[in-house]
Structure 1
């Protein structure tokens, strides 16, 4: 197939549809009418000989062929964008739109209330957050970056560990008044422990305790199992049971006495926070800036933590 400039134009419109999620939003992104978007997609589908999008009155999604095509062309669009930024003399400019798949704990319990500083720092950048249990297909869904706890599971993505978070075992004074305070992690066998489901394995997380060179695992049980960390924390605060949580999100509750750190000598277990982004030679400045901001916030919450070097440093 000889090069056809209309194919490149159609691909740009397709990228806008994927990123915007609709023809209406795509029209706003590329500055044409809704019908112009529809015609551009139609011409591209005709040129390629395949249907790229499934359209309904409520949604627009990539077909299997469309997803394969988009995964192939997206890196080239990114390279063109990078080249344009470099040539314009603004290689370090943080601007445009950033779509972030964010951890359901990290956003509400760590970042929320602190994002205003980032917005003030980069007034030409707008951010859309997506929060869900699983990291999806970043390229196909037009997502620039994912920030998640846990070990990397995505071979096709670049993973950078930002920092490691402490795991605390906590309970409310109300729970301890009713059920007593466990003196050792092994005592948890007889307590009501709130369980959290690993979305990738479908099993509840094991409770592990580390003190120096000593590591023990405790088989815990309880009446409730969660996939939402904020809901689990609310139940813990209400006195329903004991929970293991990422320490960053409970600092105020510990300071006020709403939660009690049951085993302050057993803080050896750490949970890594990673940033994931599609493989590219030079991650965009907006991606680097947000990753640095997340690491900055996390490091500030735990002064003793060591943060990794910034992207590109």
Structure 2
């Protein structure tokens, strides 16, 4: 395979001359002498065998051939500079990939804002996101071998545990559901006559069924599926308030008035099973973005 006849440096000099408008200004921008800029461009045109520039007054302009070739070279220059930037990041300990495991009830708007903020700091780091169901054990989480987790597990069950927020679950049903025809506030006996729609959490489901004697229980693996089931009138359920605010505003769903408490809270924590010496700057930056979105002071 033949080596290139031209160098990246020569193309960068050409691009700078066009951006600056003259050899002198390009020399200043590149911190080089004007003669070295002229030499680089002469060598480039000689090796290509094409005139790339024409001088009009004191201004350097591209020829037709120069415009066509520089347009093709510009993305290569950008890619090479990005490559060097990434190499500098790797040299400084920036990770190329991170894995993040997130409980499905964690507010999506906060999650995506945190990821966007992290991307702005580390554009070359890929984040692999996995959503999990509530109630996974620490053993199940460890099997996933993630760098960072947002889970319902308390800090004492993992290293580097940090409280993030409480997710408020509220009881809702389709606005024309028969439950709204009963006198409020509703009792446990009133609720037990209708199917309970749940987002998967085996531990809480077993407790809830024993406590209420629920006639039927429909379990879904995502908040979206549970919300859709409730929206068509299958039953009632407890859903995270942050995920259903727009549906409540639209009038499709309405909150139920209960004799017992009308809000249940699930605490979410950010945890990692990494040793402290492996808690590098990339993981630290992602965790700070998440903490900032949850308004938790560092």
| TM-score using structure 1 length | 0.52
Deviation track 1:208-252 (CA, whole Å, cap 9, x = no partner) reads: xxxxxxxxx755343522333332121012221111012121121
Q: 1:19: which partner in 2? A: none
1:239-295 Cα shifts (integer Å, max 9, x gaps): 211110121211211122222122399445321011110142253233233333334
The alpha-carbon distance between structure 1 residues 141 and 171, as it changes in their structure 2 partners (threshold 3 A), is closer
Give the CA deviation at 1:142: 3.8
Distance 2:145 2:153 in 1: 23
- TM-aligned CA deviation for residue 146 of structure 1: 1.1
Residue 195 of structure 2 is aligned to residue 192 of structure 1: yes
Would you say the 8 A contact 1:110–1:249 is kept in 2? no
For residues 255 and 171 of structure 1, the distance between their equivalents in structure 2, rounded to whole angstroms, comes to: 13
Q: Specify which of 132, 144, 147 is matched with residue 144 of structure 1.
A: 147
2:170 to 168, 171, 178: 168
Q: Match for residue 161 of structure 2? A: 159
Q: Which runs of 5+ in 2 are unaligned?
A: 1-87
Contact kept, 8 Å, 1:195 with 1:221, in 2: the verdict is: no
Structure 2 matches for 1:230-245, cutoff 5 A?
Answer: 230-245=224-239
Q: How many residues align?
A: 203
What residue number does 1:289 align with?
Answer: 285
The alpha-carbon distance between structure 1 residues 246 and 224, as it changes in their structure 2 partners (threshold 3 A), is: same
Distance 1:153 1:275, change over 3 A: closer
* Secondary structure of the corresponding residue to residue 196 of structure 2: coil
Between 122-131 and 152-161, the greater mean CA deviation after superposition: 152-161
After superposition, the Cα gap between the structure-2 partners of 1:153 and 1:117, relative to the gap in structure 1 and judged at 3 Å, is closer
Separation (CA, whole Å) in 2 of partners of 1:290 and 1:138: 19
Q: Which residue of 1 aligns with 2:297?
A: 309
1:278 to 273, 276, 286: 273
Separation of aligned partners in 1, 2:114 and 2:206: 31
2:125 alignment partner in structure 1? 125
RMSD: 3.8
Alignment-derived partner of residue 214 in structure 1:
none
Residue 223 of structure 2 is aligned to residue 229 of structure 1: yes
Q: 2:46 maps to what in 1?
A: none
Residue pair 1:195, 1:204 contacting (<8 A) in 2 also: no
Maintained 8 Å contact 2:106/2:268: no
Partner residue in 1 for 2:81? none
**C-alpha contact 1:195 1:222 (8 A) present in aligned 2:** no
SS of 1:158's equivalent? coil
Structure 1 regions of 5+ residues with no counterpart?
1-84, 208-216, 300-306
- In structure 2, distance between residues paired with 1:258 and 1:123: 40
Asked if structure 2 preserves the Cα contact closer than 8 Å seen for 1:163 and 1:295, the reply is no
Q: Distance in 2 between matches of 1:252 and 1:140?
A: 36
Q: 204, 207, 210: which one pairs with 2:206?
A: 204
Which position in structure 2 is the counterpart of 1:260?
Answer: 254
Deviations 1:92-119 (A, max 9, x none): x865311011213337686358744542
In the aligned structure 2, how far is the partner of 1:188 from the partner of 1:162?
A: 32
Could you tell me how far apart the structure 2 residues matched to 1:183 and 1:112 are?
38
CA distance in 2 between counterparts of 1:140 and 1:194 reads 29
